[in-house]
Amino acid sequence: MLMNRAANERFDNEGIYVSYADRLDDPRAWSAPRKILNGGGWYPQVAGLEPARGTDREAGQRARFLLTGRSDYIIEFER
């Protein structure tokens, strides 16, 4: 899961965080959020690179990283 964090009451973006879980239905399974980007925009997303398979549900190890609908980065996931 990717999420952003507001820095203040004006909702300036403090950073983008990632959290992992093997099972989505267990709230205790999620890892502590880890910052991957200072600042940034809203609505962090990933989109897979593989044609006909790369989606926001199944991104793979390498994926496009989007903020506010724009992709300027590739993100790589490792265990």
Tens of pLDDT, residue by residue over 11-70, are 889 999 999 888 889 999 999 999 999 988 889 999 988 877 777 777 888 999 999 889
8 Å CB contact between 4 and 19? no
**pTM of the full structure:** 0.82
Q: Is the pLDDT of residue 79 over 90?
A: no
Cβ-based neighbours of 8, under 8 Å, separated by 6 or more? none
pLDDT number for residue 26: 93
Taking the C-alpha atoms of residue 20 and residue 72, their distance in angstroms, rounded to an integer, is: 23
Is residue 2 a contact partner of residue 17, using CB atoms and an 8 Å limit? yes
58-74 pLDDT per residue, tens: 788 899 999 988 998 99
Report the alpha-carbon distance of residue 43 to residue 35 in Å, rounded: 15
Cα distances from 60 to residues 11, 39, 49, in angstroms, run 31, 25, 8
